[in-house]
Amino acid sequence: MGWKKEFGKGYRPPEAILRLVESGLAEDLSWGNDASPSFGFTFEPDEDTHAAFVGDTLAVRIWVQHPNRTKREYPREPRYIVDRTDDMGTTKTFETDDAHLAVSVYLDWLKAAGFKLVRRR
């Protein structure tokens, strides 16, 4: 659908996320029935990752709330909410924070743990 079409340009997702979408390493999952735009990432471990992770896939979805709290569906929520879903379908809110830095730190942590970005088809 597209975040601008569904929610309007006032939401202003971080440029880092938009660049990943443009490069094909993330997908704009924004849909009008959701409370805010969201972008999906899929990670697969490389062969050097701990054996417990072999064959697993980890999906990450980043929700971007409106910068103005009064324009959010849930004004008390922080601007950025990061969810992770494993290949068993279990979803957990991994980290929430108002800072764009939280998104960057999360992605850096996954890469450091041996996960690599997988281009979506």
Task: pLDDT tens for the chain, 121 residues: list them.
Answer: 699 999 999 998 988 888 878 887 788 999 989 999 999 877 666 555 543 444 567 777 889 999 999 999 989 988 988 887 777 777 778 767 766 676 776 777 666 556 666 665 5
Residue 115: what pLDDT?
A: 64
How many whole angstroms separate alpha carbon 106 and alpha carbon 47?
Answer: 21
Q: What is the model's pLDDT at position 38? A: 93
Domain boundaries, the chain: 3-117
Is-contact 41 61, C-beta < 8 A? yes
